[in-house]
Amino acid sequence: MPDGSHIHETPVIGIIGFGAFGQLIARCLSPHFRMCAYDPAPGLQPMADRYGVALAGLERVACCPVVVLAVPVGRLEAVVAAVAPHLRPGALVLDVGSVKMAPAEIMARGLPGHVDIVATHPLFGPQSARDGISGLKIALCPVRGRRCRRLAAFLRGRLGLDVVMTTPEDHDREAATVQGLTHLIAKVLSQMEPLPARMTTRSFDLLVAAVAMVRDDAPEVFEAIERANPYSPHVRRRFFALASALDAELAGDPPRARSPSKAEA
């Protein structure tokens, strides 16, 4: 995905996986590129027509100059193996998974040496991007090749994204808290429904809104965030330990008011 001066050199972007996030990619990129997509799921033609995306076979889509792997992290290894024989020399391959260490390793190991690789994580989803993506964040992790900075320039200049350059390790370390806790709290609160809707505070309304942004994510997203990120178990255990300690404190006798000393009286 180059800057604007190179659009005519890469006229078609291939999207492997045309689910909710693949469709979001198409919506955001349709003003800038032609696109084709592969997804074996039925019933996708109306959404493809909406964004001007040509549905095609895996081999054709994998032959595009830029290939976006918009599939769950748990399926990435199989998809990498399927597309690897069809990738052009010099192609740019991206993923969009919620974790980065495992996908970066899978792509580096499974994709041919003649392609460039950037592991990406758009820090938003279809719900939080309903009103547009300008000003939202995306993490970029260079894996192989020198095209990451050109990609960053396009994302900043044409899409208005806030680009965070990082490593897969640093990404997962921070995401374990940023995403791990958000989805964990959302999962618990959704199981406590129905939640109050009449007499609420502004802080509660914001909490409910945050839950709404992630509650409809595919189950694979939660699994990746909590299981595929090697830093998530530590964050999760610390959160529950602190919550348990607070629960134990609140279950005990309330602290007694300290009697004033004679000097204070």
Question: For 120-145, what is each residue's pLDDT tens digit?
Answer: 999 999 988 999 999 999 999 999 99
List the beta bridge partners of residue 163.
138
Report, as an integer, the average pLDDT of 135-161.
97
pLDDT of residue 10: 45
**Residue 253 pLDDT greater than 80, yes or no:** no
pLDDT for the residue numbered 123: 96
Cis peptide before 194 (omega within 30 of 0): yes
What's CA 41's distance to the chain center, in Å? 21
On the question of pLDDT at 16 being above 70, the answer is yes
DSSP state of 252: S
What pLDDT shows up at residue 7? 35
pLDDT of res. 65: 96
- Residue 145 vs residue 217, higher pLDDT: 145
Task: For residue 213, name the pLDDT band (cuts at 50, 70, 90).
Answer: confident
pLDDT of residue 261: 58
Helix (H/G/I), strand (E/B), else coil: 158: coil
Query: Looking at residue 110, what is its pLDDT?
Result: 98
The pLDDT assigned to 215 comes to 83
CATH code of the domain occupying 4-166:
3.40.50.720
Query: For position 168, what pLDDT does the model report?
Result: 98
Place of tokens 């964040």: 137
Distance CA 188, CA 235 (A): 16
pLDDT average, residue stretch 236-251: 96
pLDDT given at position 204: 96
The whole-model pTM stands at 0.88
Mean pLDDT of the region 89-105: 97
Query: What's the mean per-residue pLDDT of the chain?
Result: 92
DSSP string of 181-238?
HHHHHHHHHHHTPSPP-SS--HHHHHHHHHHHHHTTS-HHHHHIIIII-TTHHHHHHH
Q: Where in the chain is the domain with CATH 3.40.50.720?
A: 4-166
